[in-house]
Amino acid sequence: MIDSVSQALRNYGIEPKWAACFSLTEIFFPPIGIFVPDLGKVLRKLLFKGMRGVQAWFEDFEKFREGRKMLLAENFQLAWSPETPDVKKNLNMLPEAKKAFVINELGLFQKQLLPLKEQMQKLQTDLISISSGTGLDLDFKKLDSKHADISFDEKERIPSLLTKCEQARKELRSYHEELAILSTLKYSIEDYQRRKSDPFFSSNLSYTMKELATLWTFLRTPKYESKEEKIREVLSDLRLPENYVVTVRTYGTPTQYELEPDSNKRKELLKKAEEEEAKNEYLRPLNHIARRYDKNFYAHIDFLEGRPVSLNISYRRWSFDESEDQRKEIISKLQISGFRPSHDEYSINANKTVKVESNATIKELEKTVEKELAEYPQ
């Protein structure tokens, strides 16, 4: 593995000693198809390795020295410059300076929290208004009780102030997540009310507004704004039936959220979700290994009563934009590896199935994938 990483970096014109600054995904499967390092990310790993909780921004030094800085943070400490390159020394502030920095940070947190609290109050008022008379009895008391008022005295000791800083950060995160969830819930309720006048929608409707609004909140809340666990927590606090929504994660496909009010059918769905998650425990590492040889390889496991019975390695590649010589080269590489490829003018496909022991561990299956692909020329 070390040799393949080193060779890949050399192919990009980068010395292997820089390997710790990149992830394996960036090296072998760059998101946009070409290796374009993020300089800021590289510098963060280089300068702040092992330092937890450090948020770093980078500026052109000449512009910074002239006062033309574009830092996103209002409160900052200079960590590195050509004139002062010792990061640890620069961040090691004297107690008086550290306390002043933390107090300033807390003041900024309070300033940021104020408009978020106002937005939350307005959003809750809107939700109560639009849900009036619909059977949705939204109660925000439990949700509101989880928030704390962040206040401080400048005479407090640094450990106490730092604890309150962490509390303030959590408050900011919670408000941002909850605003995203409640905004989605509001849109879902309004969407239902718009649709219910549509005869086709009404005639095919088998769920209540409460159930659909709950499902749509899962589906429509951007997961970069709030994770599923937080969505469930908020909806539960509002007394909405989040437990009616079952999450099914099938490897290689988008996460599915399935609504099932019937408790017996929901048990079946939950069993299906558990089975898929058990498969994922195998498929994630196996596909990670297979794709190291070629991004068009896929590993699949057939299960019987929760145990693996066979391993299938497949190859799928669109080839309509490749020359005949290129297609022949790919087919030859697959044949060398023991595959029997099929192809047409549009694609190349190949499969190989290997029987495995029912008690095979993930590590043993990983070795099987490596063995089956060991002769694949790279």
pLDDT at 57: 64
pLDDT at 74: 61
Residues 100 and 85 placed together within one structural domain of the fold: no
Residues 17 and 71 placed together within one structural domain of the fold: yes
> Residue 262 domain-assigned?
no
> Residue 57 domain-assigned?
yes
Residues 11 and 103 placed together within one structural domain of the fold: no
d(CA 128, CA 16): 59
Look over the chain and give the mean of its residue pLDDT values, rounded to a whole number: 86
Q: Tell whether the model's pLDDT for residue 59 goes beyond 90.
A: no
Residue 270's pLDDT band (boundaries 50, 70, 90)?
very high
Choose the final residue of a domain: 92, 118, 151: 92
Choose the final residue of a domain: 92, 110, 130: 92
Over residues 172-179, the mean pLDDT reads 96
Q: Tell whether the model's pLDDT for residue 71 goes beyond 60.
A: no
Task: Quick: pLDDT tens for 308-325.
Answer: 889 999 999 998 888 888
Q: Count the alpha carbons within 13 Å of 127 in the hemisphere toward its beta carbon.
A: 23
Token pair for 213: 């609004």
Over residues 331-359, the mean pLDDT reads 90
Residues 233 and 307 placed together within one structural domain of the fold: no
pLDDT at 69: 60
Residues 86 and 114 placed together within one structural domain of the fold: no
Higher pLDDT, 173 or 376: 173
Counting residues of the chain whose pLDDT is more than 70, the rounded percentage is 89
Domain that holds residue 149: 96-213+225-237
pLDDT at 227: 95
* Closest of 265, 135, 136, 260 to residue 206, by C-alpha: 260
> Residue 114 domain-assigned?
yes
Residues 106 and 230 placed together within one structural domain of the fold: yes
> Residue 25 domain-assigned?
yes
Token pair for 193: 């009310």
Residues 84 and 103 placed together within one structural domain of the fold: no
d(CA 199, CA 299): 46
> Residue 164 domain-assigned?
yes
* Closest of 147, 160, 170, 174 to residue 103, by C-alpha: 160
355 three-class SS: strand
pLDDT at 52: 67
d(CA 22, CA 39): 11
Over residues 350-355, the mean pLDDT reads 91
Token pair for 113: 């929290």
Task: Burial-class residue 258 by CB neighbours within 10 Å (0-12, 13-18, 19+).
Answer: middle
> Residue 266 domain-assigned?
no
Token pair for 62: 């000449």
> Residue 174 domain-assigned?
yes
Choose the final residue of a domain: 92, 121, 141: 92
Residues 76 and 109 placed together within one structural domain of the fold: no
Residues 193 and 120 placed together within one structural domain of the fold: yes
d(CA 326, CA 348): 11
Residues 109 and 153 placed together within one structural domain of the fold: yes
DSSP codes joined into one string, 153-204: -TTS-HHHHHHHHHHHHHHHHHHHHHHHHHHHHHHHHHHHHHHTT-HHHHHT
d(CA 75, CA 73): 5
CB 280 within 8 A of CB 303: no
Sequence-distant (≥ 6) Cβ neighbours of residue 373 within 8 angstroms: 289, 290, 293, 297, 313, 337
> Residue 300 domain-assigned?
yes
Residues 132 and 233 placed together within one structural domain of the fold: yes
Task: Quick: pLDDT tens for 76-108.
Answer: 667 677 777 777 776 677 778 788 888 888 988
Which H or E element spans position 246?
strand 245-248
Residue 51's pLDDT band (boundaries 50, 70, 90)?
low
Residues 116 and 208 placed together within one structural domain of the fold: yes
Task: Quick: pLDDT tens for 191-239.
Answer: 999 998 888 888 778 899 999 999 999 999 999 999 999 999 999 999 9
Bridge partners of 304, per DSSP, are 307
Task: Quick: pLDDT tens for 251-266.
Answer: 989 999 999 999 999 9
Domains: count for the chain: 3
